[in-house]
Structure 1
Amino acid sequence: MFLSSALVSALLAAFVAVSTVRYIYSRYFSRCALPASLPWIGAEDDACFSRARATLRSFWHTRELVFEGYEKYSKKELPFVLPNINTGPEVILPMSQMQWLLKQKETVLDQNEVNRSFLQADYTMLHPKVVTDTVHEDVIRQELTKMLGNYTADVIDEIDYAFKKTWGVNTTEWKEITSYYSMLDIVSRISNRVIVGFPLCRDEDYLANAKEFARWVVVEAAFIAMVPKTLKGIFAPLIRFLDLKYHWKTSKVNDYIQWSIDHSYARNDPSLRTVDIINKRLSVIQFAVIQSSTITLANLILDLAAAPDISVYFAHIRTEVLAELKAAGGQWTKDALARMVCLDSVLRESMRMWGFVSRGVMKQVVAKDGVTLPSGQHLPRGTKVGVHGAPVHRDENIYSDAQVFKPFRFCSNGSENMVDDYSEKVVGKGIPLVTTSSNFMAFSHGRNACPGRFFAAQQLKLVLAYIALNYEIAPIPSRPANLWFINTQGPPLDAKISIRRRVGTV
């Protein structure tokens, strides 16, 4: 019996060792069957140890590698390889190949597979079916987006409640708040007003667990991605412990669950509507609607606080918002909100500078025989290929003063002409926040652009309008730099600003 146990232990140890060695070689030293004609940024001598060093560098310095590659290769119409310690190397295309990328069929290049890999969705999304079937996306497109107008009054009510609770109503004393954590609290409240309704959206225990689930998904995904594929089944459940912990504590009956049940019947698959999987969909939607909007708003208030003319900007926003509300008879209607183009522009400008994910459009080769780029290189199945948005958004040839936050850059009555691909279609109106292009990829671009961006845009605009109407933000000397973690970025979690309620708004 002892020998048998010892043998099993030895075999298991050997399996782990072999899996680890194979993983290290394929992730750090191998070219991953990519053509030798494709240069690796950060590893120009093409030695295997040079590629390994570049891959290690990508853990904290992806920003430098992305921008270096953009200047050195993309601007010269050349594709290159970007090392990625998290999900493997990515082939980055020059912008001239964007249309080719977007035109490829999903049977050749699939963006969903990249998202699945980035989030390690088979593990962090609690159940593989949550990401492989279309119920989740159907609910977002056909229920959440379609019914936005019906929820506007509820969202406004929850915004008012959330800000009074989190930011307070003191009109004389300044209150110091943390940009990220205050926005996390506010966004979780207003998102859940739509997702689960009243009164569950004000259950403090429920909200606390929903927030924590949303926060930990990307971090857990990063560590799961660095576990060898053959060992994920062993180690992923240990890493995703927090996912499960917070999910168990948020499983309560709500409107989103009913929507998911309704759409699951259309799939004629009873396994899609079990109590377990429907509750897991709820936790997943928490991540989708909370984390990205939280980071967007945390970035925005830091941008505004660091802007020299913040009082002028707020005054301009208030003028527009009050005028459009008056024209709508004092009601927050869908049409009135759409006409508030300054809100779109301020948010769009902040997202241009600080998009949560560096990549703009990234797809995975799923065709069995691979695919050949317009420049002639053949990519094997499994290769990730696309364009990163961060360097495009900071390109001085596309956006003048690209390193400067100009909140009304995308308004036709701003201080400079719009330079977005869609500018000729919106002269006199401004560019809607949800509009994507090859020059603005904060929501990705093409047919795989984020389906939840309409829901997010409504909330973001309403929050910005509420802040401008009801609060003052004390100026700060400079905008703290965002922190990069592989190919994601976010504001420093401890960055603080001071706020005060405007006199006459309580």
Structure 2
Amino acid sequence: MFFSNYPGFEAFATTKQQRVFEYAVRNHLAQALALTIAPMAEETPHSIRLVFGDAPDWKELVFRDSIVQCIARVNNLVFLGKELMENDEWIRIAVSYSTDAFVAAKKLATVPALLRPIMHWFLPECQKIRHQIRRCRELIAPEVERRLRDIENNGGKPRKRVLDSVDWFIGAESGLDPHTTNTLCFAFSDLLDHPEYLKPLREELVNVYNDVGEWNKATLANLRLMDSFIKESQRYHPMREFNMTRVCLKNVTLSDGHVLPEGALVGFGPVLQSDPSVWPNADMFDGYRFLKLRQQPGDENRWQLASTAPEITSFGYGTHACPGRFFAANEMKLLMAHLILHYDWKLPEGTAKVRHLHNGLDHRPNPMQKVMLRNRTPEIDFVGRSAI
């Protein structure tokens, strides 16, 4: 439970500010999605080299610590622009806030409800995230003010073409999503547990990129094995045993006569994701599973990574499915493409299999999982910086 009515937890609010964010993602990010691919593709190899570094010999690092910084940089490029993407303090907050807020929420939950309105002011964990929110506002304020001046100087009209969402939020009025991080961590753990997929994934990358000649919508769409591999990882590793949570606005009577009372918190378990009647050999990881399903007549577009279905609810389902899932799918493919082309990967000596964490209803990749990487010469190379 996140206490979004308390200072410091505003990022988890479902109020007007959250609706503004959802509006921007659904309406503006969706329209600009194809335009984001080229700048993301230019920034991705630079961010990876900056964070993962040079490795002429095998070196060990904690994968999650590194990939979350890359995701933060690419997200910030698209959502906030190049200037904030280059701001180290902003990146540090973007990387740490979601974890710090979770820690603060758990601490605040131990306080009796009647004392929380007072005690949250004194808990160090809550003080930390209040400071983070305050610094974020201070860092972004000059950029917002500059955009507003530009709009005013342009007769009140927003700039015709922008690829970052500071303008989108301003338009709606006139963050780091851990899902992407966890999905990529799970996918890479599956790749380390099943290294036989590295060769066909690289071959697909080289063939598709050489056919198209650049990173664009078609290139990413044609990475069908990678799409299938990441989606199978989502199926194999549901992140929660209780997801798509909703609150009953009135009494709801189910078909068997049970009544869910007004105000009840309800959710859905991802039981179909491991159901052998739905997925043959459901307890086995099969990176080709969704590729083979898409080869069936009529299902060519059904089982894509960003598609939703009741059988696999990683991005939610229905009206309130994750609005940013198409952007997330593109970002994950770009990051994985560069990581497997520019580095060799293996588990540290003595590590037979990646182990993940179960904490109550949550299933998370091990945040301390170490990996080994080494430079490799990519069959294709695309290094540059975004011009945003």
TM-score of the two chains, using structure 1 as the length reference:
0.64
Give the match for residue 245 of structure 1: 131
In 2, are the aligned partners of 1:213 and 1:242 still within 8 Å (CA)? no
Per-residue deviation at 1:127? 3.7
How far 1:145 sits from its partner (Å)? 2.6
- Aligned partner of 1:166 in structure 2 is 51
AA matched with 1:164: R
| Counterpart Cα distance in 2 of 1:504 and 1:331 | 15
> Does 2:367 match 1:483?
no
- What SS does structure 1 have at the residue aligned with 2:26? helix
After superposition, what is the alpha-carbon deviation per residue over 1:71-93, rounded to whole angstroms, capped at 9, x for unaligned?
xxxxxxxxxxxxxxxxxxxxxxx
1:247 Cα deviation from its structure 2 partner: 2.0
Q: Percent identity?
A: 25
Compare CA radii of gyration and give the structure with the larger one: 1
Partner of 1:27: none
Q: Which amino acid aligns with 2:173?
A: S
- Partner Cα distance (2:340, 2:261) in 1: 51
Change (3 A) 1:357 1:423: farther
Match of 2:153 in 1: none
Give unpaired runs (5+ residues) of structure 1: 1-117, 266-285
Aligned residues: 351
Displacement of 1:375 = 0.8
CA distance in 1, matches of 2:285, 2:312: 15
- What SS is found at the alignment partner of 2:291? coil
CA contact (8 A) 2:8 2:131 kept: no
Match of residue 322 from structure 2: 450
- In structure 2, the CA distance between the partners of 1:202 and 1:222, relative to structure 1 (3 Å rule), is same
Q: CA deviation at 1:135?
A: 0.8
Name the SS for the 2:82 alignment partner.
coil
CA deviation vs aligned residue, 1:354-391 (integer Å, no higher than 9, x gap) = 23333243322111xx11111101121111223211x3
- The answer to whether 1:235 aligns with 2:123 is no
Aligned-pair CA distance for 1:504? 5.1
Q: Please say if 1:497 is aligned against 2:371.
A: yes
Task: Give the aligned residue type for 2:184.
Answer: L
2:236 to 353, 370, 385: 353
Q: Tell me, what secondary structure is at the counterpart of 2:281? A: coil
User: Match of 2:14, SS?
Assistant: helix
**1:287 lines up with 2:287 in the alignment:** no
* Deviation for aligned residue 1:122: 2.8
Match of 1:385 in 2: 266
3-state SS, counterpart of residue 451 of structure 1: coil
Output the CA distance in 2 between the equivalents of 1:141 and 1:447: 11
1:456 and 1:323 map into 2 onto residues whose CA distance is 23
Find 2:78's aligned residue among 194, 199, 219. Answer: 194
CA distance in 2, matches of 1:122, 1:344: 38
What amino acid is the match of 1:384? L
Q: What's the offset of the Cα at 1:179? A: 1.6
| Distance in structure 2 (CA, Å) of the matches to 1:152 and 1:201 | 16
The 1-side partners of 2:197 and 2:33 are apart by 27
Among 299, 313, 322, the alignment partner of 1:426 is 299
Asked whether the 8 Å contact 1:360–1:445 carries over to 2, the reply is: no
Task: Give the TM-score, by structure 2 length.
Answer: 0.82
The one-letter code sitting in structure 1 at the alignment partner of 2:375 is R
**Cα 1:342–1:430 shift into 2, 3 Å:** farther
Aligned partner of residue 362 in structure 1, secondary structure? strand
- Change in Cα spacing, 1:381 to 1:154, as seen in structure 2 (3 Å) is same
- State the partner residue of 1:339: 222
- Tell me the alpha carbon deviations over residues 180-218 of structure 1, each in whole angstroms, 9 at most, x when there is no partner: 111111111111111222132122222112211132233
**1:272 counterpart residue number:** none
State the partner residue of 2:247. 364
Q: Which residue of 2 aligns with 1:319?
A: 203
Range that drifts further, 354-363 or 337-346: 354-363
Q: What are the Cα deviations for residues 250-287 of structure 1, in whole angstroms up to 9, with x where unaligned? A: 3323453332122112xxxxxxxxxxxxxxxxxxxx23
Runs of 4+ in 1 over 6 A off after TM superposition: none
Distance 1:493 1:431, change over 3 A: same
**Structure 1 match to 2:190:** 303
In the TM superposition, residue 498 of structure 1 has moved relative to its aligned partner by 0.3
* 1:257 pairs with one of 154, 166, 189: 166
In structure 2, the CA distance between the partners of 1:485 and 1:220, relative to structure 1 (3 Å rule), is farther
CA contact (8 A) 1:302 1:497 kept: no
Q: 1:436 to 1:127 in 2, by over 3 A?
A: same
Q: Conserved in 2, the CA contact under 8 Å of 1:124 and 1:221?
A: no
Following the alignment from structure 2 to structure 1, what is the Cα–Cα distance between the partners of residues 272 and 120?
35
Could you tell me which runs of 5 or more consecutive residues in structure 2 were left unpaired when the two chains were aligned: 144-163, 382-388
Q: Which amino acid aligns with 1:264?
A: E
CA RMSD of aligned residues (A): 2.5
1:167 CA displacement: 1.8
Question: Cα 1:177–1:244, aligned 2, differ >3 Å: closer, same or farther?
Answer: same
Q: Which residue identity does 1:332 align to in structure 2?
A: W
Contact residue 191 and residue 198 of structure 2 kept, 8 A = no
> CA distance change for structure 1 residues 337 and 124 in 2, over 3 Å: closer, same or farther?
farther
